[in-house]
Structure 1
Amino acid sequence: MTSAGNIATETVHVSLGDRSYDILIGSGLIARAGQEIASRLPGIRAAVVTDENLAKLHLPVLLSALEAAGITATPVVVAAGEKSKGFATLESVTNDILKARLERGDAVIAFGGGVIGDLAGFVAGIVRRGMNFIQIPTSLLAQVDSSVGGKTGINTAYGKNLVGVFNQPQLVLADTGILDTLSKREFAAGYAEVAKYGLIDQPEFFAWLENNWQDVFAGGAARQHAIATSCRAKAAVVARDERETGDRALLNLGHTFGHALETATNYDSSRLVHGEAVAIGMVLAHQFSTRLGLISEDIAVRVEKHLKAVGLPVSMKEIAGLPSADVLMSYIAQDKKVSRGSLTFILTRGLGQSFIAKDVNAADVQAFLEDKLA
């Protein structure tokens, strides 16, 4: 994948009163990170939380950019993968930041994908009761989803993201050029979240993706357009419902099924990564909507066809060794969207017509899962 041409950086503003911030989207932003951060938070020191893979490939460029802007930075490197989103790594990162004697007015910079952003954002929210937080997302998934909106947290044995805080960043720098180094699988996993915005409430964007997805994968203007459109969609929802008491839950389309699958695979990225789980989950959400008589079967087929075309898994049968429907239901019952024991799903009444369905019958879900696992 290669980026083409010199495309101007775009800015998406997240409007949250005194917690508002900008998302900058464009190529070469990592090399400019120091000046962008220093202009907003002058005189700070920082901890850069990243993983072992990024530390080898890209950390020197970021550290040089920070140093050139007069920002003293302490690297904090953790193991790559979803298993770093746990209590043990949370404790070690917290201790590293305290050991560096960073103060409340200093910053924690998340330099990585969704795992790093969620972990570092949680750390920034709790160390010294809250430090400045900056997101430099390096995966497509993180750039269009997890770096925007302030959700942070870690996983537990009981499920994904069940411990965390809402903690908005002061700045997000989405360098589209760094996506050129992603594998096809990683890029496709992030693309699932891009497609999600079309399926929530922008059917014209989903149709655009059906016609232009290859250009998005190739880079350049189409990629930047897809990322900016996704960020604007999420920013608008977050501005309306920061703490997910209302329609922000729509952003979880595919996630109730998807999170259960991730828990069932013990967050093993060799078997399943988050975006792949979301892709399967979105197909299941549309198929379940079909079963409930909410949509015609051709809509679910259209969604499945597109996600399959870009290289994403679309069926639970593509994951080896899944447990029974009973076990999957136990994970769904731990989902954060469960309210007083009632199941809540994001379902749809048409392409791009998703809605929050409360009091979904658990027996219907279990029978549906049993059929899909058979």
Structure 2
Amino acid sequence: MNQQVANRLNSVAVSAYKFMGSVLLALILLGLMSFLAVQGFFLASSSWVTPTILSPTDPNVLALNAQAAQQESERDGLMARRREASDRLQEAERTVATERSFQQRFVVALKGEKRSRDRLAKRLSALRQEYLRAGGEIAESNRAYSGLARTRTNALYGAKLMEREDVLTANHHLAQMAQSNLSLAQETVDLDMRLDTLRRESEGLTAAENGLGRDDAPEGLTTDTLLLEREYTQSVLAMARAEAQRKSLEADVHALDDRIRRFDQLLQVVHGSPYLKALEQNLTVAFVPYENLANARAGTPLYTCALKILWCREVGVVGPVLEGEVSQQHPIRQYHLRGVMVELQLRDAPSAREPLLHLGHPPLML
């Protein structure tokens, strides 16, 4: 009796062991088939995306926001430098225009001064000739009159026909006539000096006009015209410095414009990133590898499935593609994929927490 019970218990134990072994083998086979099915799906399918919920406190969002703020600060610094360089460039251009105008006016004024000196010299020369002619006649008449008056006075005084006082008066008049002859000679000398000064000034102005911008020293320069030429030379040097500064500042402005343009392009890319769009509110997006992008056009239906590929239902549609490339790890494999982010318009909010969503149709519905 005991032997029969023992045999029965052994038979039950063996049956249970065989059943458990079969169940375990079936589970192992089921797991292996599921693994192979999932691997085969990802190997052949290009119709899946991985959803992500971006929040304002996401580390990537905060890091990108800090980077954008830093780049905007650097761009503002470049803009300030550009405005400063532009102001200095305008000042250099005004200096060049002012000095060029001064040089043109200087040449015109120099020619005008020379013409004025020449006209005055001609008038003085004509006056000198007239003065010499009249002075010669006056001097000749004075000499003739003086000789005749002196002879007559001496004769009358010798004949006791003229008093001593009258003789002295006559001699005084003759002395005044001699003084007038000296005054005429002095005036002639003054005219000669003034005429010589005008001629030297005219020659100096001509020499200065012909020597502007040249290294040699033309004949006829005077100290006054040399000082005038120095003012012109200083204007030329100031204009050359302003020209050199203008060219340098133009190059600086162009270089700053290029750097600002590159910053603008970079900031445009950064502000187009989905991470910055999540600063204001939570944003549901999905990573789409480049090989899946053709199937992720706007309006494409989205499906979520149990066990990744079974029991699927529609949960929303694909929204617009967000600019900028991103890199993300493969949902089941240990390598990163390159792709883009797309906005998701989900009717079922919890589906945003799924590891992946399918594009267009359930994965087993071809």
Q: TM exceeds 0.5?
A: no
Higher helix share: 2
TM bucket (normalised to shorter chain) is: under 0.3
Larger gyration radius, structure 1 or structure 2? 2
Q: TM-score, normalised by structure 2?
A: 0.15
